[in-house]
Structure 1
Amino acid sequence: MANNFFGITDIGRQRDNNEDTFIAQKSGDGNFIIACVIDGVGGYVGGEVAADIARECILEQLSYIAGDVVPLLVNTINIANQKIYDKKKTDKQLENMACVLTLAVIDIQNNQFYYAHVGDTRLYLLRDHTLIKISKDHSFVGFLEDSGRLTEEAAMDHPKRNEINKALGFNPEISKDPDFVETGHSPFLPGDTLLVCSDGLTDLVDKSLITAILTGSDSIEEKGKRLIDAANSKGGKDNVTVALVQNDKAPRQHSATRPATAVAKVTDEIVDPLAQPKLPDGPATIPVRQKSNRGSMIVLFILLALALAGFLWQFWLNYQLKQNPVKTYVTHVKVKNAQEIKLQDTINKLKGKTLILSAADYPEPIVLTDSLHIDGDSLYIKAKGNILFKRDSLYHGPALTLAATCKFIVLDSVAFEGFKITITTHNDALVLKHVVFNNCEAPVQTSYSFPANKQVSGRLFGGMFKIDSLPGSKNQESGIKKK
């Protein structure tokens, strides 16, 4: 799979700086290819800063990809949006910065790709020499083009073609709008090519020329460079960026098989289709052997007997079902969300003994569909800001499960809501600091290990935990402040 992805960006012919950036590389675990084009919104100070923030956030969040990919992409874009918005608040010169992006994650091994998109960068799929536009432009002119009200040529020349209605960095609460981020996934078959590009390409180069370049015999690097050159040759009015990914597996081809029947001999004789067929040489009449009806009667009798037996069998089965109705059970399949996948992976790969949970990374409650497992001997989990763990409506297990090997686990300033059993632990491994339990039936369930065949004496002291009361803190009453 070497050389099956490539990215390139160019300042163009009329701009003084490049507000575009891109990603074209494998994920940290090596199982996926990330192709992304990010365009700093033109005309605003700091567009390139916003693009760089988004790029770094994507690489950080997608270093490990597992589970349901689309929610992970949406969560990554939400985090990038929040980081851009937070940066704007700290620097007055950047208060108008924003960016748009198209992010694709490709699973070559399983022939699939997933994408998330905001703005007027674009995603195309080339299959069988046909270029298909996958993403939709989040702009008025883009809507007119996608709905067929404007031709491609008219949209490219429209005076408002660069006015967008969605971007990252303007609204800190895009996660509350389920339609803000456009998402999808599709098969990525052997021979397919994905193109992610900025509007610096599609505002100047039409679909037919892009298709001609992508279907050529050049290498993927040369195709990327030819797309840049095509935009610059038409004026290069904007920064131009492309990212390409090819599924370079050999397409499956099925060889044709010859029919088993003999091939008729070709002659020069003209055949009349209305003529009676020729009989082979021989007697003028062909004797016909009369068959006895006895065999037919036997077959008919056997068929009737089988039909009667089948009817009686079905009648007996229906009777048994009425007497002993079959019970059906519905099994709910757990599908972990991106937040808990990310958090469990962080716990598993943590090299130190301290884990900081920041509200900037988890602005919304962390909804758990399964228990988070802690296996190390010691770990300090500290929350900065409001970190709330909530139970998914279909989940009835604990929020945290501490292994028997744990010796010293500290939870500091986190909150839990709605769990029947919140934390399961062993012996005296758990330490709580300013932890809140809202509507939790059993906050902590502890198992103690004792040696076999030994007498045990002692007492479990309920006073090992105390109720904290911090002056002026409303969170001690409600668990966490809802935004």
Structure 2
Amino acid sequence: MSDNIFGITDLGRQRKNNEDVFIAEQSADGRYIIACVIDGVGGYNGGEIAASIARETIQQRLVNFSGEVIPVLTGAFAAANEKIWQERHAVNEHSKMACVVTLAVADLSSNQFYYAHLGDTRLYLFRDGSLVKISHDQSFVGFLEDSGRLSESEAMNHPKRNEIDKALGFHVNIINGDEIETGQSPFLPGDMLLLCSDGLTDVVNKAGITAAITGGGPLKTIGNKLIDAANDGGGKDNITVVLVKNDKEKQQHTVTKPMENAQPGKPKIIAEQRPQAPVTVTESSLRKSYKGWTILLLVLVIGLAAACLWQYVNYRNNRENFFLPKKDSVANVPLQRNLQEVKLQKAINQNKGKILVLSDTAFKSPVIISQSILISRDSLYLKAKGNIIFQSDNGFKHPAFVLASNTKSVQFDSVSFQGFNVAISGHDEALQLKNVRFNDCNIPVLNTYTFPRKKYISGGPNIPAFRLDSLPKKK
């Protein structure tokens, strides 16, 4: 393991099995440092397996990746979620298994780090003696703590501390990363990232973690200090710590020496040669020259010091917001579906047959979509009676309809999609279209394929069955 990353996990003092796993490695091309902490949920029979599936899937997705980093991270989460969900429904003993995960990728060449987070494992950034919590605990108690309604000590001792809202395996699908907290931030020389499970943060407070890091030493020494601190506090859960350091040297600028420190007896004078009388340099004129330069330099130094002081005060006042992902806080609040959307989702969920007819007398066009409509059933024939148009809400970037992994056949008949980034997200050969129109949709259909694990695959998609159709007959 390189000197800029270290990971360690410990059973703790009260558990008989370890449901924590971690990743601490470089990408295949050496560009990225990959750090991840995964905490299994669901007891002895499930938590370890869920965590292991997540670790294996994330490693496969990140072994040699390129392009935009955050979509790769959320894609790895979605793939792990689907595999855990399949295992939950394949084995009765694993029906409650899930895991929480925090994943960070550091790019030292550009001094940036990227992260994705789900659950109550945590990501911290340590810079210049200050420890800043980057991730948010996705739980009721975590919300109360982050919003200032509970102090850190009150949250650590709350009876519902470990009741989480989100995890891999809780739902059939993670729709385009909507449930995943993501972000990026500068990762400067000397900075350190700490990823950890709640086995550490439920026992050791922020001051204790800061003290262990500030004590210095190799990452292995710091990691062991944190493990020991959690065990000394009772070790009630498994404890996992991953540390990443930007070990590049800080840029140090040499301060220019004031002119008054130069030797006055040997001034360096460059005279421009002109056809005129030679210039006579007297001791008095030299004193005035040095005095002028000294005053100018003092003014510049005072001005620079004042600017630095203002920047530091501004940084201290806004430190928490500076390191958090630059997102509008309102955008993080889940949107409330409109009445048409609620009615549509209920109609799909509660329909007892395989055919669902949408009448334009019941659904007034356009039906504005602000959150993806999930189709999670074996088969469905969704047919429009009259003019049914699905239209994207302002700022909505996700699919209008998402076919769950357990869906085998869905057919859309005589509907229109307007203004979506992605109109339908399907998989394998589950989707069929009949007289469907896509207006101003960047990606009409986004399709994925599922293959057995660790099997050799040959072939490719067949010639698409989709074709331009004649105008539909009026109903």
What TM bracket, shorter-length normalisation?
Answer: 0.5 to 0.7
| d(CA) in 2 for partners of 1:243, 1:392 | 45
Q: Distance in 2 between matches of 1:152 and 1:106?
A: 28
1:386: Cα distance to partner? 4.2
2:23, 2:55 within 8 Å by CA — same for their partners in 1?
A: yes
From the superposition, tell whether residues 163 and 395 of structure 1 become closer, same or farther in structure 2 (CA, over 3 Å).
closer
Aligned to 1:297: none
For 2:214, the equivalent position in structure 1 comes to 215
Give runs of aligned pairs for residues 6-405 of structure 1, distance below 5 A.
Answer: 6-41=6-41, 43=43, 45-175=45-175, 178-260=177-259, 385-386=429-430, 393=441
Q: Distance in 1 between matches of 2:169 and 2:465?
A: 33
Give the Cα–Cα distance (whole angstroms) in 2 for the partners of residues 147 and 159 of structure 1.
18
- SS of 1:169's partner is coil
Counterpart Cα distance in 2 of 1:226 and 1:139: 28
Q: CA deviation at 1:40?
A: 0.5
Cα distance in 2 for partners of 1:50, 1:199 equals 17
Give, as a single letter, the amino acid of the residue that structure 2 aligns with 1:192: D
User: What is the aligned partner in structure 2 of residue 436 from structure 1?
Assistant: 465
Cα distance in 2 for partners of 1:60, 1:22 equals: 14
Question: 1:384, CA displacement in angstroms?
Answer: 5.3
Q: Note if contact 1:7-1:23 (Cα within 8 Å) is conserved in structure 2.
A: yes
Distance 1:42 1:394 in 2: 40
Letter in 1 for 2:178: D
Query: How far did 1:217 drift?
Result: 2.6
SS at match of 2:259: coil
Query: Cα–Cα, structure 1 residues 218 and 171, in superposed 2: closer, same or farther, change >3 Å?
Result: same
Q: Give the direction of change, closer, same or farther, for the CA distance of 1:258–1:207 in structure 2 (3 Å limit).
A: same
Structure 1: give runs of 5+ residues left out of the alignment.
266-280, 282-358, 364-368, 370-382, 400-408, 414-431, 442-483
User: Is the alpha carbon distance of 1:392 and 1:169 closer, same or farther for their aligned partners in structure 2, counting shifts above 3 Å?
Assistant: farther
Q: CA–CA distance in 2 between the matches of 1:30 and 1:95?
A: 38
Corresponding letter in the other structure for 1:257 = T
The answer to whether the 8 A contact 2:50-2:97 is kept is yes
Flag the structure with larger Rg.
Answer: 1
1:258 Cα deviation from its structure 2 partner: 2.2
Change (3 A) 1:31 1:410: same
What is the deviation of 1:74? 0.8
Note the C-alpha offset of 1:85: 0.1
For 1:78, the aligned partner's letter is A
2:376 corresponding residue in structure 1: none
Could you give the per-residue CA deviations for residues 420-442 of structure 1, whole angstroms, max 9, x where no partner exists? xxxxxxxxxxxx4xx3234499x
Contact 2:119 2:137 in 1 (8 A): yes
Calculate percent identity across the aligned residue pairs.
55
**Deviation at residue 28 of structure 1 after TM alignment:** 2.3
Question: Structure 1-normalised TM-score?
Answer: 0.57
Equivalent residues of 2:37, 2:241 under 8 A apart? yes
Deviation string 1:89-121 (CA, Å, 9 cap, x unpaired) is 110110110000000011111111000000000
Structure 1 residue 149, shift from structure 2 partner: 1.2
Secondary structure of 1:256's counterpart equals coil
Counterpart of 2:271 in structure 1 is none
Structure-2 separation of matches of 1:440 and 1:252: 64
Look up the equivalent residue of 2:175 and give its one-letter code: S
2:166 counterpart SS class: coil
User: Mind listing any 5+ residue stretches in structure 2 that lack a counterpart?
Assistant: 265-283, 285-403, 409-420, 422-426, 433-437, 448-457, 471-475
Question: Residue 218 of structure 1 aligns to a residue in which SS?
Answer: coil
Q: Distance in 1 between matches of 2:247 and 2:459?
A: 49
- Whole-Å separation in 2 of the counterparts to 1:44 and 1:143: 28
Structure 1 consecutive aligned stretches of length 4 or more whose deviation exceeds 6 Å? none
C-alpha distance after superposition, 1:187-215 (max 9, x if no partner): 10000000000000000001111111112
- Once residues 38 and 115 of structure 1 are traced to their aligned partners in structure 2, the CA distance between those partners, rounded to angstroms, is 14
Q: 1:385 to 1:232 in 2, by over 3 A?
A: farther
How big is the shift at 1:387? 8.2
Give the 3-state SS of the residue equivalent to 2:466 in structure 1: strand
Number of equivalent positions: 303
- What's the offset of the Cα at 1:26? 0.8
Residue 173 to residue 159, structure 1, CA distance change in 2 (3 Å): same
Query: CA 1:395–1:39 in structure 2 vs 1: closer, same or farther (change >3 Å)?
Result: closer
Query: Contact 1:6/1:245 (CA < 8 Å) preserved in 2?
Result: yes
Separation (CA, whole Å) in 2 of partners of 1:440 and 1:3: 61
Q: Tell me if structure 1 keeps the 8 A contact 2:42–2:96.
A: no
Is the 1:44–1:96 Cα contact (8 Å) retained in structure 2?
no
Give the letter for the 1:156 counterpart.
Answer: M
Q: Structure 2 CA distance, aligned partners of 1:391 and 1:172? A: 29
* Alpha-carbon distance in structure 2 between the residues aligned to 1:69 and 1:103: 12
User: Relative to 1, partners in 2 of residues 1:5 and 1:440: Cα closer, same or farther, differing over 3 Å?
Assistant: farther
Residue 153 of structure 1: how far off its partner (Å): 1.0
Residues 438 and 86 of structure 1: is their aligned pair in 2 closer, same or farther, counting only changes over 3 Å? Answer: farther
CA distance in 1, matches of 2:109, 2:261: 43
Contact 2:100 2:168 in 1 (8 A): yes
Given the superposition, is the C-alpha separation of residues 439 and 143 from structure 1 closer, same or farther in structure 2, using an over 3 Å criterion?
farther
1:83–1:360 Cα contact (<8 Å) kept = no
Q: What is aligned with 2:345?
A: none
- SS in structure 1 at match of 2:199: helix
